[in-house]
Amino acid sequence: MTEISAQQKAEVLSEALPYIQRFFDKTIVIKYGGNAMIDEELKEGFASDVVLLKLVGMNPVIVHGGGPQINELLDRIGKKGEFIQGMRVTDAETMDVVEMVLGGHVNKEIVSLINKHGGKAVGLTGQDGHFIKARKMYLKGANDDELIDIGQVGEIESIDPSIVAHLDAHDFIPVIAPIGVDREGESYNINADLVAGKLAEVLHAEKLILMTNTPGVLDKEGNLLTGLTAARIDELFADGTISGGMLPKISSALDAAKNGANSVHIIDGRVKHALLLEVLTSQGVGTMIRAH
C-alpha cells in the first residue's frame, strides 16, 4: 500500500467532520469481542479508536465478552465448556472462572489499554451498585413447556443507567463486564450481546456496534447482508440462516433497534480500525439492523 500524502490525510480528516458533528455528545455502545480482543495489534487499535471517539466529543460505552479467555482457563483446570443454543452452561465452578476472567483479567486489561492511549477508563461489572439486576434464565426445549436449566446464566431484569451516565458526564469511559446480580446477591453470567443491547436501549444510544469475527450477517451463500429489517430477520431465523452464537447477537440487536437505539451495526472486528470506519466514514463495515 502506498504512503498517503499530508494533503490526503487532511482530506480524510475533513471528511470525518460531518460525522463528528452528527454524533457529538451522543452515546455509542460498543460490544467488544472476538479477534479484536486477542490480536495484539487489533487490541491497541481498538483502544486508540475508543479514545479518539471520546476526545472528539462522543460517549463510548464498552461492554466486553471473553469467551476464548474463559475457555482457556477452563481447559487449564481440566473442565470442558458446554454450550446450548449459543449460551454457556454455567455451574458454580464455571461461574467462579467467569468472574475471575471477565470481572478481573479481561476487564482490567481493556481499562489499562484505553488509559495507556490517553483515555480515562473505569472498569465495572453489573455487581457494582447492583446496576445490572438479573434473574435466572431458562432456555426453551423442543416442546414449549420444556425448560432447560443452564446454571448461573442470567437474563436482564433491569439496568440502572445512572452510574454509566455519571461516568460519561465526567469524561470517563465505562468498560463493563457482563455479570449481573439478583435480589439475593447471587451472581449470573449474562451474554455480553444481551447486556450491550439492553444498555443501548436504556441509554437511548445513537449507535449500538457489535464487533464480531465475521464480515456481518451472511446469507446461506456466504454473501454479506448490509441491511436487515425485523421481518427479514424473522425469515433468517426460521430458515436456519441465523443460528448458534449469532442467535443471541441478532436478537439483542433487533430488540435494541426496536426499543431505543437509533441504529445497530454488526461489524468485522478483524478489520483494523473497524470502529472508526463505522462511525467516521460513509463506508460502514458490516450489517445495519433497523426495526422497519
Residue 290 counted as an annotated binding residue? no
Quote the number of domains for the chain: 1
Question: Using an 8 Å Cβ cutoff, are 235 and 292 in contact?
Answer: no
- Residue carrying C-alpha cell 487499535: 45
Residues 6+ apart with CB under 8 A from 200: 27, 29, 207, 208, 256, 260, 261, 264
Q: What CATH number has the domain bearing residue 253?
A: 3.40.1160.10
All 3 cell numbers of residue 141? 426445549
pLDDT of residue 3: 65
Q: Which residues are catalytic?
A: 31, 34, 67, 193, 249
130: containing domain: 6-289
Per residue in 90-109, pLDDT (tens digit) is 999 999 999 999 999 999 99
pLDDT of residue 186: 93
Per residue in 187-209, pLDDT (tens digit) is 999 999 999 999 999 999 999 99
Residue 88 counted as an annotated binding residue? yes
Give the residue ranges of the chain where pLDDT is below 70. Answer: 1-3, 284
pLDDT of residue 43: 94
Q: Please indicate, yes or no, if residue 17 is contained in any of the structural domains.
A: yes
pLDDT of residue 87: 81
Residue 67 counted as an annotated binding residue? yes
Q: Please indicate, yes or no, if residue 1 is contained in any of the structural domains.
A: no
Residues 6+ apart with CB under 8 A from 228: 217, 236, 287, 288, 289, 290
How far apart, in Å, are the Cα atoms of 164 and each of 55, 117, 160, 200, 265?
Answer: 17, 21, 8, 11, 21
- Residue carrying C-alpha cell 477452563: 74
